[in-house]
Each structure stands twice: as structure tokens, then as C-alpha cells.
Structure 1
Amino acid sequence: MTQTLKIDFVSDIACPWCAIGLSSLQLALERLGNTVDAQVAVHPFELNPDMEPGGEKIVDYLGKKYGRTPEQIAETQAMIRERGAQVGFEFGPRTSVYNTFDAHRLMHWAGIEGKQLELKLALLRAYHGEGKDPSDHAVLVEAARSVGLDATQAAAVLQNGDYAREVRAEERKYQHMGIQSVPSIIFNDRYLVTGGQPVEAFEQVVQQILAEAQQAQEAPHEAHEAPKQ
């Protein structure tokens, strides 16, 4: 029997663990096959909301924010590349970090057009795989075009500042819910999983949630059964 599962994936394009987490989640859902009908929606979170146009070098940014040395950053990036390879996501040369607010605005529009997840994946590949600037409107429009969205409409959304209010409202919503790091994945509005978990971990979580949902559905029916003589 196929069960419906609501998944809210709160993340930022600038986050490498979000690319790993989404790839891992998708593989877990593929393994589960017809047992689950997953409805995945992505939601905005900005790691670098105050980033200036043009971005900042990763070494400088992480050095100031976390006190990491260039050697430590290189080690972390090597580990991230390895983890990405395990779930089929190829990390390329990322040398800078950028503001992603316009990308989140475009993804909001893509959700209205029914292409939100596709655009999210395209933007993750553009930044983490190809080192492109996700604050560059040309990069965003090309990503939209690559997933079948209208490039002219995408450019207009970006140029006109569309959906800024909606994105800010969503960001506040999840901050008020206590989301402080990404990826944060919420299942059926009840269960929270954080981080770029392995495929097996996501698979186990989904199976447990489906089992509990099935038990909840069966319990009222069992309670109303006539007692056997």
C-alpha cells in the first residue's frame, strides 16, 4: 500500500550539506519505491543574508566566521566531496560564497509553476558542482530555462523583485519554529531530521514514520470493532 508523506526541506543553496542531504533523501525515497508517495517542498533559509554583491572568498569567509585555517577548510571540503560522491552528487571547485535571496525568490515562483524541486537541484549543481554564482541573474535564468521554465518570465521575476515578501515570511516562519541550521527536514509536520544524513538513516526514518502513521489509522478501527464472543 502506498502512503503519502509530506516533506518540507528547509535549506540554502549555499549549504553543501543541503546538497548532500537532498541527494541522500531522494535515494532513500527511491529505495522505498511504491511504498511512499513523497510530496517534497523546499523552503528558504539564508546562511549569508548580509553578503555583499559579488560574494566573498570561502577561505576568508569561513576564516572570519568560524576561525578555520585554510588547511582545515581544505580538509573539510575533501570530506564533503567524498560524502557527496557517496550519494551521487559531484562537488566541483567552489571558491566563493554568495547571497542567495534572489535564488530563493525564483524558487518560490518555480513552486507556483510546479518546478520547484527541479530548480533547486539545478541551482545546487550550478553552485556546488560548477562553481557558478547563484546571485547572478544570468545564472538563475539559465537554471530556470534548463528545467523547462520560461526564461523571460524568470528574468522578469528577478528584475521586478517579485516574491520578496513571501520569502521573508517563510524565513521568519521557520526561524520562529526554532530552525537554526540546515538542512532541516520536517516530515508530516511532526518529525524533524537535521543534517546531511546517510541514505540508510533517511530510509529508516521514513519507514518508522510510515509505520506509525499506519498504526494510527488502524487504531480507531480496532477500537470500534465489536468484542469477540
Structure 2
Amino acid sequence: MEPTATPTPTRLTVDVWADVLCPWCYLGEQRLSRAIDEFRHGEDVELRVHTFQLDPQAPATVMPTLTYLADKYGAAPAQARAMEQDMAHKAAAEGLRYEVDRPASNTFDMLRLVHLGGEHDVAFDYLRAMQAEVFSGNDDAFAPDTLVRLGEELGISADASREVLATNRYADAVRTDHDQAVRLGATGVPFTVLGERLGIPGAVSTAQYATALDQAWEQIHG
């Protein structure tokens, strides 16, 4: 008599929408990653990354983040710095480097490269690598050479990255991701959907992500 095969558990999908320049995405991804690592069914979680450009009108030139925030929100420089220093403390609590005086620029090209990363199964890693460059204060974080180098470190050829940067490839994919999130009710990022049914707006705590993983797992497995 042939032994009965053990059925493979249905994988739990975790869809995350994020932008490179978004501080709360930076923190939220760290917390979600930790929750998945500690989840008892973590090996059966499929993390799927989607892009969501928060500010399509952001200038293509690189400028100090504090200048960008002050211009965008009409905040006084001191107020912008205080807000960023508060975020820096939150990031430090997650073990993340976070420089208040860091560069800012338009992220559309970066998000197109995230989709290239998806073709190589490293979309999340590429996104996180770009964020690490930005939030660590690298003035060259938005430079093509930096973005190409990060891709190479993940196994993406320099030619492939440069081809994307030189064309409009994946532009429609970025817009499609954004529109999908809006249809699902997202007004900003991070935005997370577990099991294609349980939505989490914003960056919640690691414990809250863990609870959501448990709930979503029970929903799809009964």
C-alpha cells in the first residue's frame, strides 16, 4: 500500500505596497519581515511587493529631505527637523539606520527597477537595498551608478538595469500597481493585504503584524 502523501499547505500571500522614499514603509517592512521570520508557518508565506509612488510631482533633482518636506508641506525647517528626528528614534528602535540629513528626489525610476527586480525574484530585496542607501544618507542614492550596483549585488546584470533606466520600461507596471492599491482602498503606504482579504493600512507594530498573520492563516486554512 502506497503511503498517503501529506498535502502541501496553501501558501499565505502577503502583498505589500511601498515607496522607496516613505519612512513608514522603511519601518513597516522591517517589522513585517521580523513577524514573518518568527511566524510558525513562515516558510509558507509568499511576500509580493508592489509599488506606490507617493509623490509623482517630486522633482527629479536631488535635494535635502528637510528642504523637500518644508516645501511640500509648508512646514518650518525646525518643525521638519523635529519630525524627522522623531522618525530617526523610531527607526533606531528597529535597528535601522536613519539619517535626518539625507537626499530626496523623485522615485519613479527606482520603482521601475523594483519591477525589474520582480523579474529576478528580488523585488523586496532591491526595494530594501535602495531604501538603505537613501535612509543611510548616501548623497548618491539616486544616481544611476548606485542603482545599477545594487542590482548587480542581487544578481541583476548592469545592462538590464541600465536598459530600464534608459527607457520607459515598467512605467505602466508602476501605474498599474498604484491603481490597484487605490481600488483596494489604499490612500497611502505602506499598505499590506494578507491572504487577499485582510488589509492593513500603515505601519503597525511587529506584534500586530504577527497577529494578522495568524488571523489570515486561520482564515485560509479553517
125-134 or 154-163: which moved more? 125-134
Structure 1: distance between partners of 2:39 and 2:172: 37
Taking the TM superposition and a 5 Å limit, the aligned residue runs for 1:98-177 are: 98-177=105-184
Q: Secondary structure at the match of 1:186?
A: strand
**Within 2, Cα distance between the matches of 1:95 and 1:85?**
16
Moved over 4 A (4+): none
Question: 2: distance between equivalents of 1:85 and 1:209?
Answer: 29
Matches within 5 A, 1:83-98: 83-98=90-105
User: Could you tell which deviates more after superposition, 90-99 or 122-131?
Assistant: 90-99
Q: Which residue of 1 aligns with 2:20?
A: 13
Residue in structure 1 matching 2:53, options 46, 57, 74: 46
- With normalisation by structure 1, the TM-score equals 0.85
Q: In 2, Cα distance between the equivalents of 1:94 and 1:191?
A: 36
Structure 2 alignment gaps of length 5 or more: 1-7
Q: How many residues align?
A: 215
In the TM superposition, residue 131 of structure 1 has moved relative to its aligned partner by 3.2
- Of all paired residues, the percent bearing the same amino acid is 24
Residue type of the alignment partner of 1:29: I
Residues 132, 204 of structure 1: CA spacing in aligned structure 2 closer, same or farther, 3 A cutoff?
farther
Aligned to 1:203: 210
Question: Residues 191, 58 of structure 1: CA spacing in aligned structure 2 closer, same or farther, 3 A cutoff?
Answer: same
Which residue in 1 is equivalent to 2:69? Answer: 62
Q: Compute the displacement of 1:3 (Å).
A: 5.6
Kept in 2: contact 1:8–1:185 (CA 8 A): yes
CA contact (8 A) 1:184 1:194 kept: yes
Q: What is the alpha-carbon distance in structure 2 between the residues aligned to residue 192 and residue 185 of structure 1?
A: 6
Residue 87 of structure 2 is matched in structure 1 by 80
Q: Which structure has the larger Rg?
A: 1
Q: CA RMSD in A?
A: 2.0
On the 8 A contact 2:195/2:217 being kept in 1, the answer is no
In structure 1, stretches of 5+ residues that fail to align are 216-229
Q: Which structure shows the higher helix fraction?
A: 1
The residue type equivalent to 1:78 in the other structure is Q
Question: Normalization by structure 2: what TM-score?
Answer: 0.87
Paired residues of 1:101 and 1:135 also in contact (CA < 8 A): no
